[in-house]
């Protein structure tokens, strides 16, 4: 019997598999398709990402350095309100390759990582979990002491464990103009109901255009309008779901959720790569597969680590729906140099942000 069976090898599952294996646990991890594919993510991340990947992978992952964002209340030609640092704030990284690098790190740590394996059923008992897995050649059963559901926003494990869904699912879409662009600013357009549209220069990777919107909005039409406004030809159109939450609980008797499955995302950007990996570290540190009561320690630990920033992130997002005169006044008040960390809205109240405001 394995100690942990991990379902889904995105950033959260790969990170958990690696850390649990490093602690000496017997870990098997299943990914239904090819690692990192299909792409449905911008891979725009704070510099903290480099703490999670081996040093030698940096060169293959790095695409562009971002030092600021120009906020717009209208389209491509509308007035811009710049927010910036005189150093890098974030990086655009090769998102498909990121998953591969993180999975390789899990393999190197001793986890049994299997691509092209779909977990079709999960049954939870008092002393174990049983998984049915469809592989390329056969369907088989796996028994483990615990299951980690890191299978993304539409988590099958979450349903099997009868755990609640995140409150909301945004629909995101993105596509690329292949023309290289090494500029250091992203553009953010508060033109989409309850969220925003973006333009991210990705160095030799071209320029990404994207947006996310609340359920019920016509995302393809909004996306067409964005691209038309910029007057660009795009390719590799893709889309995905962004869970906004989190739900009240992400643990059961012998199972727990990680990453998007657990709604561990930033409500004001939809970003979940670093929150998912942070929570994965909490899980690997706190959960002992022989002591199910330690699941509560995981639940407390990740909420301690991320809860305040998620709460404040909800408030920041409310600003996207504020009346335009109020948005304009807010932009004028805060535009210029900033001292905030892009994953931590609580850093709005940091000494660094205060110093930046005074400058």
Ligand X SMILES: Cc1cc2nc3c(=O)[nH]c(=O)nc-3n(C[C@H](O)[C@H](O)[C@H](O)COP(=O)(O)OP(=O)(O)OC[C@H]3O[C@@H](n4cnc5c(N)ncnc54)[C@H](O)[C@@H]3O)c2cc1C
**How does DSSP assign 157-186, residue by residue?**
HHHHTTPPPPSEEEEEEEEEE-S-B--SEE
Q: C-beta of 49: minimal distance to ligand X in Å?
A: 8
Query: For ligand X, which is the closer residue by CB, 160 or 331?
Result: 160
Query: For ligand X, which is the closer residue by CB, 206 or 271?
Result: 271
Q: What angle do CA 137, 139, 142 make, to 5 degrees?
A: 125
Q: C-beta of 359: minimal distance to ligand X in Å?
A: 28
Q: C-beta of 150: minimal distance to ligand X in Å?
A: 5
**How does DSSP assign 261-284, residue by residue?**
GGT-S-TTT---HHHHHHHHHHHH
Residues comprising the chain, all counted: 359
Q: What angle do CA 192, 346, 61 make, to 5 degrees?
A: 70
> Cβ of 225: how many Cβ atoms within 10 Å?
15
Query: For ligand X, which is the closer residue by CB, 278 or 294?
Result: 278
Query: For ligand X, which is the closer residue by CB, 271 or 292?
Result: 271
238 contacts 40 by C-beta, under 8 angstroms: yes
Query: For ligand X, which is the closer residue by CB, 36 or 356?
Result: 36
| Residues of the shown chain interacting with ligand X in the complex, contacts defined by CB under 6 A | 7-13, 30-33, 40-45, 118-119, 150-152, 156, 172, 174, 210, 212, 240, 242, 259-261, 265, 270-274, 276
What's the CA gap between 295 and 282, in Å, rounded? 10
Q: C-beta of 11: minimal distance to ligand X in Å?
A: 4
**Could you give the count of Cα atoms lying within 13 Å of 8 in the half-sphere of its Cβ?**
25
- Residue matched to tokens 């790095």: 62
Q: C-beta of 24: minimal distance to ligand X in Å?
A: 23
Q: C-beta of 323: minimal distance to ligand X in Å?
A: 27
> Cβ of 224: how many Cβ atoms within 10 Å?
13
- Residue matched to tokens 């304009």: 328
Report residue 150: phi and psi, to 5°: -120, 45
Dihedral (Cα; 248, 253, 258, 260), 10-degree rounding: -50
What's the CA gap between 167 and 242, in Å, rounded? 11
Q: C-beta of 37: minimal distance to ligand X in Å?
A: 8
Query: For ligand X, which is the closer residue by CB, 9 or 111?
Result: 9
Query: For ligand X, which is the closer residue by CB, 103 or 356?
Result: 103
Query: For ligand X, which is the closer residue by CB, 61 or 356?
Result: 61
DSSP SS3 for 317:
helix
Q: C-beta of 171: minimal distance to ligand X in Å?
A: 8
């Amino acid at each position: 019997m394995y100690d942990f069976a991990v379902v889904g090898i995105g950033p959260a599952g790969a990170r958990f598999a690696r850390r649990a294996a490093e602690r000496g646990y017997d870990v098997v991890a299943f990914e239904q398709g090819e690692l990192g594919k299909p792409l449905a993510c911008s891979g725009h991340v704070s510099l903290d990402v480099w703490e999670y990947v081996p040093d030698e992978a940096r060169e293959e992952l790095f695409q562009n350095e971002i030092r600021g964002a120009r906020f717009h209340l209208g389209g491509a030609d509308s007035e811009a309100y710049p927010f910036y640092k005189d150093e890098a704030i974030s990086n655009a990284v090769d998102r498909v390759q990121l998953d591969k690098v993180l999975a390789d790190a899990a393999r190197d740590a001793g986890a049994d990582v299997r691509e092209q394996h779909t977990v079709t059923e999960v049954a939870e008992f008092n002393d174990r979990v049983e998984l049915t897995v469809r592989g390329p050649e056969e369907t088989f059963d796996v028994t483990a002491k615990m299951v980690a559901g890191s299978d993304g926003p539409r988590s099958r494990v979450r349903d099997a464990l009868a755990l609640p869904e995140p409150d909301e699912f945004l629909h995101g879409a993105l596509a690329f103009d292949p023309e290289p662009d090494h500029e250091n600013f992203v553009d953010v357009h508060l033109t989409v109901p309850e969220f925003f549209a973006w333009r991210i220069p990705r160095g030799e990777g071209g320029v990404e255009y994207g947006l996310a919107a609340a359920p019920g909005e016509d995302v393809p039409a909004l996306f067409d309008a964005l691209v038309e406004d910029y007057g660009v030809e795009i390719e590799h159109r893709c889309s995905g779901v962004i869970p906004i939450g989190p739900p009240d609980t992400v643990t059961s008797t012998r199972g727990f959720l990680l990453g998007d499955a657990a709604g561990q995302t930033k409500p004001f950007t939809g970003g979940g790569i670093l929150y998912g990996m942070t929570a994965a570290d909490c899980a690997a540190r706190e959960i002992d597969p022989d002591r199910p009561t330690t699941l509560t320690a995981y639940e407390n630990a990740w909420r301690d680590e991320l809860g305040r920033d998620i709460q404040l992130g909800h408030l920041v997002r409310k600003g996207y729906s504020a009346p335009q005169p109020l948005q304009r006044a807010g932009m004028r008040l805060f535009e210029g140099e900033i001292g905030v960390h892009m994953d931590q809205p609580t850093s709005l109240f940091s000494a660094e942000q205060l110093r930046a405001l005074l400058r």
